[in-house]
Amino acid sequence: MFDSQTAATYNLETVGDQENDFILNLGPQHPGTHGVLRVVLHMDGEYILSADPVLGYGHRMQEKIAETLTYTQVLPYMARMDYLSALSYNQAWVCLVEKMCGYEVPRRAEYIRVLTTELNRISSHFLWFGAFLLDLGAFTPFLHAFEDREKILDLLETLTGSRLTYCFFRFGGVGADVDSVFLKGAQDFVDHMRSHLASYHDLVTGNVIFQERTRDVGVILPFDTWGYGLTGPVLRGSGEKYDVRLREPYSIYPELDFEIPVEQTGDCLARYLVRLQEIEESLNIIEQTIAGMPEGPIRSKVPKIIKPPEGEATMSVETPRGELMIYAVSDGSKIPYRVKYRVPSFANLSIFSKMAKGQLLADALAVLGSLDLVIPEVDR
Amino acid sequence: MNRSYAKDIATGLASLLTGMKVTMTTMLTKGHTVEWPREAAQVPLMFRGHIQLVANKDNGFAKCIACGACARACPSNCIEVKGAKPEGAKKKSPTFFMLDFTTCSLCGLCVESCPVVAITFSRDYALAGFELQPFAGMDLLKDVASPFVEERNDI
Ligand code: SF4
Ligand code: SF4
């Protein structure tokens, strides 16, 4: 189906006519790639014949670095991979080490973890919302979303001390306890967003220009989703109800009542709708964790020097971009023998070549934006 | 001009007007930015600026016992501590405490690892400059009194 569309959009008379084809470099410094991603586009006029992402501009050897540091020292590096959802990464690493060593986590700590991670998820979706619409040429929604995102950052700053690259979770608990001021702030935010989200739909979702730009653009077929290893809202926009929080539940997610939003059409609009619905679901989760916040300790006793027993373990969490899996092998020493990150953005980027083929350049940017890539996460 | 075309224009116009309404109402609300440096934003209690040494209440000397736990805990090797025993004292005191703030990730592992709670985060947020040196070699001891005054003057 995709290829018949492709054929229809090509100008058949000039295709393959070498004189009219040209190479266009999108990036590595281009506002539409949101980071140092370079895409080599083979163009025929405004149409894309082929698109090849070139990676590695931000490669920092995260996996190798992890093999030289102790388990505790790896923790701050987690936030540097996906700087928009640092807490999900925090969670993956602490849960992995807790799994390897068999540490207990107090209930209150689990609640705080879920509460803060979901706030982080919303802030990540807000940033994506602003950046995606900026790609489509709309500037107002960007400011609109950042105003609300700022509220979350301020809130998390009072708890964690940082605004973006959080290093807040600890093995066997969290770094600081929430107080009534924080809980009230979070509840106020939920109430505010519930009513305010309608203005997002007024401003953007119903807008004809937005709909024309996103409907039936960059369709991902359900068949492709598994082949390319897509996860997160990109996958759920194509009708697959897959979410790690549902399929391999961790922390207290099984006890919470929330939906996994799914859209069937697989185009940019579907991915947009899934993310906006996810914001609502995250609000639900936050409200439940505030209401059910148990009393008790926030950290269990764990040894100062962490030496997991020999063996290997994996841990998957759902980040705002999809499934993050960390695999670690321990040889019984205090330094991991091997660490492997399976990051969602990398897999989601892999389908871009296929989707961009035959598209207009402006549509390809919309597609790129709808994938919600974080380039340091792709390169790590 | 057929009817569906006219209808498209009507719905399109309606959607644009709805959007404009949001923009217009937002325009009438108060601004959200703080005009720094003319006014200062509130710094939250947990704010993480660069790390600093905590002074002992009695004598103003650094609480630090120069055990080096923070330097070992730091993932980026940005702390360098040297210490010696002042005459007549039971515990060591730092003679040299240098932070390389350019590689510090403000993770807080040093603060947590300190056995005597001798370091905290400062609340200094205006950390920008045109030169590297003030940040690459931050002498944390200069903010606290030290029993090694003469030696330090030689540095
Ligand atoms: S905050 Fe982290 S990176 Fe900075 S000095 Fe302390 S341990 Fe090192
Ligand atoms: S861990 Fe504390 S006492 Fe030890 S050297 Fe560092 S600041 Fe000083």
- The answer to whether the Cβ–Cβ distance between A161 and B16 falls below 8 Å is no
Structural tokens at position A85: 């959802």
Pair B25, B66 in one domain: no
Same structural domain for residues B13 and B61? no
Domain count, chain B: 2
The answer to whether residues B130 and B62 belong to one domain is yes
Residue B113 Cα: closest atom of ligand 2? 1
Residues B90, B144 within the same domain: yes
Q: Is B19 found in the same domain as B75?
A: no
Q: Do residues B55 and B28 both lie within one domain?
A: no
Pair B25, B90 in one domain: no
Q: Report the distance separating Cα A85 and Cα A102, nearest Å.
A: 25
**3-state DSSP call for residue A161?**
coil
Q: Biggest alpha carbon distance in chain B?
A: 100
Would you write out chain A's pLDDT as a tens digit for each of its 380 residues?
Answer: 344 444 444 454 555 556 678 788 887 777 767 778 888 888 887 888 888 888 888 888 888 888 988 888 888 888 888 888 889 999 999 999 988 888 888 888 989 999 999 999 999 999 999 888 888 888 888 888 888 898 899 888 888 888 888 888 888 888 888 888 888 988 899 998 888 888 888 788 878 888 888 888 888 887 888 888 888 888 888 888 888 888 888 888 888 888 888 888 888 889 899 999 999 999 999 989 998 888 888 888 888 888 888 888 999 999 998 889 999 998 888 889 989 998 888 888 888 888 888 888 888 888 888 888 888 888 88
* pTM of model > 0.90: no
Q: Which residues of B touch A72 (CB under 8 A)?
A: 73, 109
Find the domain containing B26 and state its range: 1-32
Rounded to two decimals, the ipTM of the complex is: 0.78
What chain A holds in terms of domains, given with CATH numbers, is 4-54 (no CATH), 62-379 (1.10.645.10)
Ligand 2 mean position to A110 CA, how many Å?
A: 31
State residue A290 phi and psi, 5-degree precision.
Answer: -65, -45
> Is there a domain that residue B39 lies in?
no
Same domain, B18 and B64: no
pLDDT tens digits, residue range A175-210?
A: 888 888 888 988 899 998 888 888 888 788 878 888
B1 to chain A, closest Cα gap in Å: 20
Measured between alpha carbons, how far is A155 from A286 in angstroms, rounded to an integer? 13
Residue B43 included in any domain: no
Residue B112 covered by a domain:
yes
Ligand 1 center from residue B50 Cα (angstroms): 9
The Cα of A209 is separated from the nearest Cα of chain B by a number of Å equal to: 8
Are residue B105 and residue B59 in the same domain, yes or no? yes
Q: Whose CA is nearest to atom 6 of ligand 2?
A: B70
B41 assigned to some structural domain: no
Atom 2 of ligand 1, residue of closest alpha carbon: B107
B123 — contact with chain A (CB < 8 Å)? Answer: no
The reply to whether B150 and B115 lie within a common domain is yes
Interval B47-67: pLDDT, tens: 888 888 887 777 777 788 888
Element containing residue B120 per DSSP (H, E): strand B119-121
